[in-house]
Amino acid sequence: MVWLCVPEVRASHLVGADIIYKCLGNNQYELTFVLYQDCLTWEQQSAIGQDAPLKFGIFTGSDKSLFFHEGAIYDYTEESIVSEFTNECINNIPATCLQQQSFKTIVTLPPNSTGYRVIYQRCCRNQNITNIIFSGNVGVSCFVDIPPSPSGNCVNNSAVFRNFPPQIICLNNPFRYDFSAADPDGDSLSYRLCDAYPGASPQRPIPEGHQMEVPQNPIDYMPPYSANNPVNGNPGITIHPVTGILSGTPSEDGRYVVTVCVDEWRNGMVINTISRDIQLTITNCSRTTYADMPSWGKGDKADIYTIECHSNTVAFRNTSYGGFAYLWKFGYGNATSTEFEPTHTYPDKGIYEVTLIVNPGTTCVDSIKKLVYINPSMEVDFTTDGNLCPGTPLHFQSVVSSKGDSIKTYNWFFDRAGTLSGAPSATFTFPAPGGEKQVTLVTESYLGCVDTVSKILPIDHIEVYAGSDTVLVKNYPYRFNGRGAESYRWEPETYLSDPFSPQPTVTFPDSGTYVYYLHGNNASGCEDVDTIVIRVALYPHMFLPNAFSPNGDGLNDVLKPEIIGYALVNTFEVFDRYGQLVYKSANNNNFGWDGTYLGRPADVGVYFYRVTYTDPFSAERHVKTGDVTLIR
């Protein structure tokens, strides 16, 4: 872990400090302390001489508070840092002087399970830092954590910031500063604003290693400032989480402490964090040249210029100032333009890094890079699992292929039967009846692209019919009449000629009640079940009620013989009390008197009937007579 800290320019002259470690093997580590010092005044130049020897402490333990070792480094190298701007590029440019001192040493750190923390402390910061309470009494702690290595093997090397601290930031001018770092182990890095920590004291501004205290609490910020809002601006100060570019437009001059943390990721986990605590000095100057183009979004989307969901053509806007010449690089091959605001058509979908260079080849050149997403809309589809049957749950799973984007929202629409939202998969049951049902999936990506896919699903409806309940006589053969499906299965299989036929025959050897279930399936795998109840009598017989009520209520409205075991009723006749024939049917089992005569309701009273029928075994003809009362 590297911790870069910046105390005040006036008192401490220290603008920043890097602590870098490199694993050499055999439990040895090379420690490098890099101090960035303001050398503008004689007082500051004199204070620089007090930085040698550089004193540090090493601590261990679960909370890194157990003192382990201290050291002092006398030898160092020194280098002047040239300003990033010249008088031509900034109006009212302030005087600056920045130099770098580097101290190196090698330490031996035995393997342990808690790791080590290397600390450098100095006091104090400037008295007039705007965003810190009592800043003149607040020191600086710079520290780096070395992860545990119980086996003694090297497990990590610290990341290293690529650039020097900025020297000039102009009031009410947009600025960009590259806070990116390089990791020698190839770990992924992400960036965020974070807290600064105090260290040392006015009474002991340069402590010995064993006198240092491991910082526990961050510095106290002056309201309304905070670690995440360190400088007032429009827009405020932010850092891109992927590129490490610190940017904003400060609206107040002064000195401000701003701290950036860099998280080191390996195998999906943060294994270390480095940070840089700098003092930004914002002065009343102005840049003559600034490259700029609008941003599509904010935060981690601030580096996107535009997203073209359904087009390959981009119209570029140029919001730079101070330019007289422009060079656009469109991010592939030699595709360029020197127009102020060009329109460009890309050859294919993808993500392109576009560079705008203002005043190329001159002293006051500036540039900016933004991303262009061409046709990044998702290739969205979905699969269906389950039988396409009403009443059967179907599972729907989205299938998404993307390039540089991901799905933010899912909305499922199931014909007019229901809607589900929020998940890449859904389970839905279509009610009966079946038919063609439309299923639609509408997705929106984090980049704002909407994609829609619809499918028509044939939901097959099946209704199996096993036949009407009936009464039989034992040893009489009976044929079932199942229908409504493409394949059949009767259960139980007892007494059946073929349990897989829709019309098997059955003969019952004994009287009783028998229940059969008919399972039917169609080509889509849909299943339905129907039941038939068969009551079996010992002998054939016929029955007529002694009263009926043809009043249209659906109960006992028709008078007819109930026959069991007889194949056919030859005749069925009804007479009034005067012997007048009022109803007759012949050779028909599907008959019955509805209580009318000559199209009009018959009178209430007693009527007489005569039924002739034939025994199917003996072929003997029988006659049955009786009376029945018609009531209403």
Last residue of a domain, one of 399, 424, 459: 459
Considering the domain architecture, whether residues 222 and 86 belong to the same structural domain is answered as: yes
Does any domain span residue 294? no
- The alpha-helical segments, DSSP class H, found in 238-388 are none
Note the pLDDT tens digit of each residue in 226-276.
Answer: 999 999 999 899 999 999 999 999 999 998 999 999 999 999 889 888 888
Last residue of a domain, one of 427, 459, 491: 459
470-473 vs 600-601, strand pairing mode = unpaired
Return the sign of the alpha-carbon dihedral for residues 333, 335, 336, 340. Answer: negative
Residue with tokens 């439990």: 27
Does any domain span residue 465? no
Does any domain span residue 101? yes
Q: Which of 207-216, 362-371, 581-590 has the lowest mean pLDDT?
A: 581-590
CA–CA dist 239, 230 (Å, integer): 12
pLDDT confidence band for 3 (50 / 70 / 90): very low
Q: Looking only at Cα atoms, what is the longest distance across the chain?
A: 145
Considering the domain architecture, whether residues 367 and 384 belong to the same structural domain is answered as: no
Contact 6, 18 (CB under 8 A): no
Considering the domain architecture, whether residues 159 and 56 belong to the same structural domain is answered as: yes
Residue with tokens 């981690």: 300
Note the pLDDT tens digit of each residue in 482-532.
Answer: 999 999 999 999 999 999 999 999 999 999 999 999 999 998 889 999 999
Average pLDDT, whole number, for the chain? 88
Considering the domain architecture, whether residues 385 and 495 belong to the same structural domain is answered as: no
CA R_g for the chain: 47
Considering the domain architecture, whether residues 177 and 250 belong to the same structural domain is answered as: yes
Mean pLDDT of 70-99: 82
- Token pair belonging to 406: 């991901």
Considering the domain architecture, whether residues 247 and 163 belong to the same structural domain is answered as: yes
CA–CA dist 253, 226 (Å, integer): 17
Considering the domain architecture, whether residues 477 and 453 belong to the same structural domain is answered as: no
Reply yes or no on whether the pLDDT at 6 is more than 60.
no
> Which pLDDT score, from 0 to 100, does residue 4 have?
46
Note the pLDDT tens digit of each residue in 438-472.
Answer: 999 999 888 888 889 999 999 888 899 999 998 88
Does any domain span residue 389? yes
Residue with tokens 């401490």: 12
CA–CA dist 599, 195 (Å, integer): 102
Considering the domain architecture, whether residues 281 and 182 belong to the same structural domain is answered as: yes
Contact 373, 304 (CB under 8 A): yes
Note the pLDDT tens digit of each residue in 277-309.
Answer: 888 889 999 888 999 999 887 766 778 888 888
> Which pLDDT score, from 0 to 100, does residue 45 have?
64
Helix, strand and coil content of the chain, in percent to the nearest 5, comes to: 5, 50, 50
Q: Residue 484 class from Cβ within 10 Å (0-12 exposed, 13-18 middle, 19+ buried)?
A: middle
Name the residue among 623, 582, 579 with its Cα closest to residue 600: 582
> Which pLDDT score, from 0 to 100, does residue 5 have?
47
CATH number (domain holding residue 445)? 2.60.40.10
Considering the domain architecture, whether residues 65 and 168 belong to the same structural domain is answered as: yes
pLDDT confidence band for 86 (50 / 70 / 90): low
- What is the length of the chain? 632
Q: Long-range contact list for 367-370, CB < 8 A, 24+ apart? A: 367/291, 368/176, 368/291, 368/292, 368/293, 368/320, 369/303, 370/293, 370/295, 370/303, 370/304, 370/305
- Token pair belonging to 234: 């429009």
Considering the domain architecture, whether residues 400 and 419 belong to the same structural domain is answered as: yes
Considering the domain architecture, whether residues 239 and 267 belong to the same structural domain is answered as: yes
End-to-end CA distance of the chain: 101
Partners of 247 in beta bridges: 176, 238
Last residue of a domain, one of 440, 459, 478: 459
Reply yes or no on whether the pLDDT at 184 is more than 50.
yes
> Which pLDDT score, from 0 to 100, does residue 49 have?
67
Considering the domain architecture, whether residues 213 and 72 belong to the same structural domain is answered as: yes
- Which residues, other chains included, contact 213 with Cβ-Cβ below 8 Å and sequence gap of 6+? 199
Number of domains in the chain: 5
Note the pLDDT tens digit of each residue in 312-346.
Answer: 999 999 999 999 999 999 999 999 999 999 999 99
Does any domain span residue 604? yes
Q: Which of 47-51, 232-236, 359-363 has the lowest mean pLDDT?
A: 47-51
Return the sign of the alpha-carbon dihedral for residues 5, 170, 360, 293. Answer: positive
- Token pair belonging to 72: 């002092």
Does any domain span residue 292? no
State which residues form the domain around 418.
379-459
